Chains A and B, each alone.
Chain A
């Protein structure tokens, strides 16, 4: 095996070398031709080397009359060509009056003009809005959109590229139907999570990313500005070409290449100010004392604990020396920076694209930031008419700093604590601490950030090289070899500290982490196209192998004497090596596809992929993933000719199966792991092993079968387009971790992976776009609308219960991770004391075990739980489904307009019908533990003013708030103005003197407006796994960003 790996790598290396050799060889071999071509191209626009007819003219846009710069004019059948200058003018020598000129410009309809006897040809170009002729990237190839039979969504990148977001994933928010994207928090550099057509599994449901043809991960490493196009393969008939990894959809990203025309330099920059959104308004010292005192009193705490607060409450005139606004101390206005410079160009033989990008987010929490530098180099070269080579290379470096804990931690503050303070009691550090009399255990968070110096760096090199052969017309054979190298380094240094009586350490500590990953992918794809009369056929066969491996470890050192921070390898007490993990996987796949079209009316596609994966047990490594789809272009039927409104109408049907390998490699076998398993005999250290995986021997991937009914409709001169897809998605053999009983010897939480579960998702994706113009005013409106609902159909006598309060439950017959708890039917009132006592007695008498302390200390002001089964007791049998984290509907709509150089773009995005478990309320409104309050806590129930908000009780002795109940479940529906942009493009005629082709300035805002009833910080939440979703324990706040930007093209 090791040998085979070596052989493969050697083979790939040789191919690369051979490719390079070919590149050089054929440059010189075909040298004659190439050189001549170059001269001719230049001659076309400038000087004539041969006899010809001079033709000149001016090209303008039909609607605005603005000159168009960079329009290419080619004489058909020759190599003569020209490009318009900044005034839209061109000059060309043509062979004669019978010559035909092809005039083309991106975004406009091509024109072919017969020269005739004209010497001056003035042209008006008409914008091309016929989307059906667009070519879209599908797996291992491209296809005209009109020929598609699967469900593929193409994303228009020009709008989203102006967003200042760290990840490509986030930019997809609201852009595509059937795609649900959330950025879980506002932490700098935060990646977004994506669901394509609902959660198909309890496991990982992230889609497969394929960047420039190589399965890869985008994360926050990929620069949005380098992205040319994004295609999302949503249904199985489209995605099956990616087989065992495509169950959650595939996102194909193509990066930019140079375009024909004169070389261009693009520069874009934006700077923005980010405000933290909806920070909780924490109470001042006096209010804190009042509330804290009340909560102690309600909790029957000994007087000794709260004498400070008692004193303040009993002397309302006390002037308090300290009242720290911790939100003010810990949060600030952040900033975003985004600068991109690219340089691109193309000739007939070659094209190139080079870019440099810098992106930075300065977090709104003190000391937190994210920074990324990217560089890209892409090129393609036609070496001969039968040979083409090309490459992509992308380098990136990311740096993240700061922010120690979750957001909930930043509520663990006390206004009586000073930020900084001089004290002899705290010798190491100047941070304010609280005396024990305050009865508050919590660190000085400013100090925590100050003493901790954390930095994570990620480096990535990703690239590929291909050779494309065209031995004869119709056949192309492309072989691509790509690889990625990832490196991560983290450094976490903590000074010795004293942050109060529970938090101190009198020695320094340094942890250094290292991780590396190396992946290599090779694929070869043979494509043959045959058009015979009205039959169009395309055959594709290909194969792919992939090998990925990586490792990681952490080193920890402590107590650096004399401030010397080095790891002394010889001293076992100052260094510790932790975790050394490797995760190798290999894939070997073959695939094929047949497209058949008859008369542009009947379209068929058949895909099949055979996937082999090292993740699964030897008998289960190979899988076959077939899919079939068909399309009917109704508008090409003769009976439709009379219906002029219908420009294009196509019905699609598809069915196929794809896989999800979401289980750790080697989970099928029982394994032992060493490391940190020590015992001592005779004073000598011995190391041992313990079982780490309980293997059942028979694991295979989960398979998702999708049936898709789709329709593409274009109306009114292609101005209105409607795409709709209805789907049924069935997950079979879902991989779940089944709990083991403890006697199996795998510990308290031992589990084993099994294929044991089925899920069904049903949904509908709708995408409507309309574009038109009124005079000089061009506008477009569009929207995406996604409905999805899912149900776990089978879970092999399992229940998955998760959460601190077991508030997430997954069982057959319900959606995943619904909220499970008591129904609150109000608040116990003063006049109900008798009922409370009655309840207590009944519960205690019957020895109600599972809730032995549920009602002790219950008093008026507490939540009243509903006795669902009417047995007079409140116990686990009264817990029911109290909400679902999954939206019924996800939607987005955008509007854009252009008028005399001004442009406007707005994107709204929202979800409807989901719930959020707002656990943070327990902290901010009710105080369970040592946290601060928001002013909302004053709305608590009191005997004098009975409200609907429970009373405040220190530590919640009767588990009133520390149990799962509908009090915490709130609607999470929202509508958000995600992006609003207003720009102005300076007219080209003013720019020509500056040698500029384009100059645009814009202002933009992100997250400007949110409409929601949710009372927590932010309804755009994505926390937890698919079986423990949307628990709002507070998060790094999202930001409202105001940006100023600039785009320039030379």
Chain B
């Protein structure tokens, strides 16, 4: 019987351990999936936040940002009435509803990136955790980048969902300069546009002091914001704020400090991955074919722009380029003598659109039309399905290289080209605009002429018959505005200029099929989700 008591004793003792298993330490589990805030306060944490910050912006540019913004000045058109079509139609009609999800996604991407920038700045400025262990060069690149991106996000938020040019109105944006962690942080009212601008300028100056010039970047750092990008952006902000003297100074500084930057000899080389982060690039959103991108779910490192904007055979043929906006003067439909016509020499026309128009030869091949541009033989022939819905389809950022077959599992309609946010041509034109306002028109024309010459096949230093030689401010500005339009079609620059120059009303009238200008069109509505959950928010006028 001893065995009985021994066994019972043992079982009782072991079972009894269950009863005392109420130790809270037992419940303390590490979460293996994810990492908490404290894990971010380290060199590797900050490196990862940094990538997240750029990813959110890449998301914004990935799908439709460019398409969306291009409806406003009437550059791109969408004919679909189902699916995503109506949401694009809303933009075209200046009738974006607060529940338009594209509007919401874009707004969310900027705030998402902003939240990451604020985390980085807060950790690094205060040396929280072990972030100071980062090597100095990397530390400055990441922190400087965060300042740049904070300014970048505030700038685009302000210009898309605020009314920046009524500077003392309430229609700025909700501005964040620290981590949002509590209710009071996100239940916040809009700052005035002037306050947002102050912050943008402050952040860009901070970025300028931390970042490196593009020539100093190591190959593995290419694509990061540079000191030059901060300088140029600050110049752009000054132009937008009509501080022309400061603008001219900053833009000149960019030109002087960055001898490696200038116009590419051939305009079309900006859009097809040939000179990514190259001589003409000031700041680009980076895409690559390193990780395949799922066609409908995103992910990867590719760019969905091509799916929607690519013509048949290259994409989904959802978007066309508005033929009334992009028209060469030899087109039978063109209004003779209209300044908006591309002249026959203008390379930008055939680099902006794939078209079946004059000076094109057609080869019918089964279901496809092979189009060859007879004027510019350097353009590769294009294969377009006969059923294409649009006369012109976008060419910028559309790859030819994958139209023949899918290479190694990469879907044929995913693009991998960087999306240019700012390039030297814009810097020159902003500089020219600032100088013109400072009554230095001959000097200003130099910079405008460079862009115009390149556009027509001349070298930038070569005098061309298209050069502006006068001294009349109005004539100069009219030409500059028109040249800037042609230079940047589909590059989401135009609309902000349209609003800034106050030409929205006349611009609307010039585009066939557009609604009459409505004042609310100057900005998008604040998305429903923001309105519903931020009690301090006020909706933009007219929405």
Contact = CB atoms under 8 A, between A and B. Distances in A.
Given A576-B292, A740-B186, A688 B49 contact: yes
Interface centre among B21, B48, B174 (most CB of A within 10 A): B21
Given A11-B17, A576-B292, A669 B12 contact: no
A25 B408 CA distance: 65
A669 B181 CA distance: 11
A467 interface: yes
Interface stretch (B282-290, B320-328, B462-470, B472-480): B282-290
Given A576-B292, A741-B187, A674 B15 contact: no
B290 A669 contact: no
B26 A8 contact: yes
Contacts of B81: 955, 957
B503 interface: no
A11 B10 CA distance: 12
Interface string B83-126: 00000000000010100010011011001101110000000000
B461 interface: no
A957 B222 CA distance: 49
A522 interface: yes
A982 interface: no
Contact of B288 (A526, A677, A683, A799): A683
Contacts, number: 283
A998 to B, nearest CB: 41
B180 interface: yes
Contacts of B290: 572, 678, 680, 683, 685
Contact of A543 (B21, B45, B107): B21
Contacts of B45: 689
A687 B300 CA distance: 10
Contact of A559 (B58, B291, B406): B406
B419 to A, nearest CB: 12
B114 A745 contact: yes
B15 A4 contact: no
B28 A618 contact: yes
Interface in B1-37: 3-4, 7-8, 10-12, 14-37
A524 B543 contact: no
Interface in A851-871: 852
Interface string B194-228: 00000000000000000000000011111110000
Nearest to B9: A471
B291 A387 contact: no
Interface string A557-599: 0110000000000011110101011111111101000000000
A681 B223 contact: yes
B378 interface: no
A545 B17 CA distance: 11
B35 A689 contact: yes
Interface stretch (B263-271, B487-495, B525-533): B525-533
A688 B30 contact: no
A856 to B, nearest CB: 11
B529 A742 contact: yes
B534 interface: yes
B50 A747 contact: no
Contacts of A671: 31, 33-36
Interface string A654-689: 000000000001100111111011111111111111
A747 B112 contact: yes
Contacts of A5: 26
Given A11-B17, A741-B187, A688 B300 contact: no
Contact of A690 (B112, B408, B542): B112
B24 A612 contact: yes
Given A581-B33, A618-B28, A574 B105 contact: no
B169 interface: no
Interface in B287-314: 287-288, 290-292, 299-301
B409 interface: yes
B351 to A, nearest CB: 25
A582 B32 contact: yes
Report the contact-size class of chain B (Cβ under 8 Å from the partner): 35 or more
A486 interface: no
A618 B31 CA distance: 13
B220 A684 contact: yes
A14 B17 CA distance: 13
Which of A5, A18, A612, A744: most chain B CB closer than 10 A? Answer: A744
A206 interface: no
A22 interface: yes
Contact of B27 (A612, A741, A749): A612
B527 to A, nearest CB: 6
Interface in A934-977: 955, 957
Contacts of A50: none
A29 interface: yes
A743 interface: yes
A344 B14 CA distance: 33
Given A582-B32, A742-B104, A524 B26 contact: no
Contact of A683 (B36, B176, B222): B222
A161 interface: no
A673 B220 contact: no
A11 B11 CA distance: 12
Contacts of B8: 386, 469, 471
Interface string A689-701: 1111100000000
B533 A1 contact: no
B40 interface: yes
Interface string A1-32: 10011001001001100100010011001000
B537 interface: yes
A4 B26 contact: yes
A689 B49 contact: yes
A544 B20 CA distance: 10
A679 B58 contact: yes
B15 A479 contact: yes
A11 B14 contact: yes
Interface string B168-179: 000000101000
B18 A522 contact: yes
B527 A573 contact: no
Interface in A340-399: 384, 386-387
B530 A742 contact: yes
B409 A4 contact: no
A665 B533 CA distance: 25
Contact of B31 (A4, A501, A666, A739): A666
Contacts of A693: 34
Contacts of A572: 290-292
Nearest to B312: A501
Contact of B527 (A665, A678, A748): A748
Nearest to B529: A742
A688 B51 contact: yes
A689 B52 contact: yes
B3 A25 contact: yes
A679 B27 contact: no
A313 B287 CA distance: 51
Given A524-B15, A679-B286, A748-B105, A743 B29 contact: no
19 contacts: A4-B23, A26-B7, A501-B387, A507-B406, A524-B16, A559-B408, A578-B299, A586-B27, A586-B29, A612-B24, A621-B24, A666-B31, A673-B35, A677-B51, A677-B55, A683-B222, A688-B51, A691-B115, A739-B532
Query: Considering the complex of A and B, which 9 residue pairs feature the smallest CB-CB distances, nearest first?
Result: A688-B51, A745-B115, A741-B534, A559-B409, A671-B34, A524-B15, A682-B222, A741-B533, A688-B52
Interface of B: 3-4, 7-8, 10-12, 14-37, 39-40, 45, 47-56, 58, 81-82, 95, 97, 101, 104-105, 107-108, 111-112, 114-116, 174, 176, 180-181, 185-188, 218-224, 286-288, 290-292, 299-301, 387, 406, 408-410, 527, 529-530, 532-534, 537, 542-543
Given A672-B39, A683-B290, 17 more contacts: A8-B26, A573-B409, A578-B299, A580-B33, A581-B33, A585-B29, A586-B27, A586-B29, A588-B27, A666-B31, A669-B31, A671-B33, A672-B34, A678-B300, A687-B51, A745-B180, A955-B81
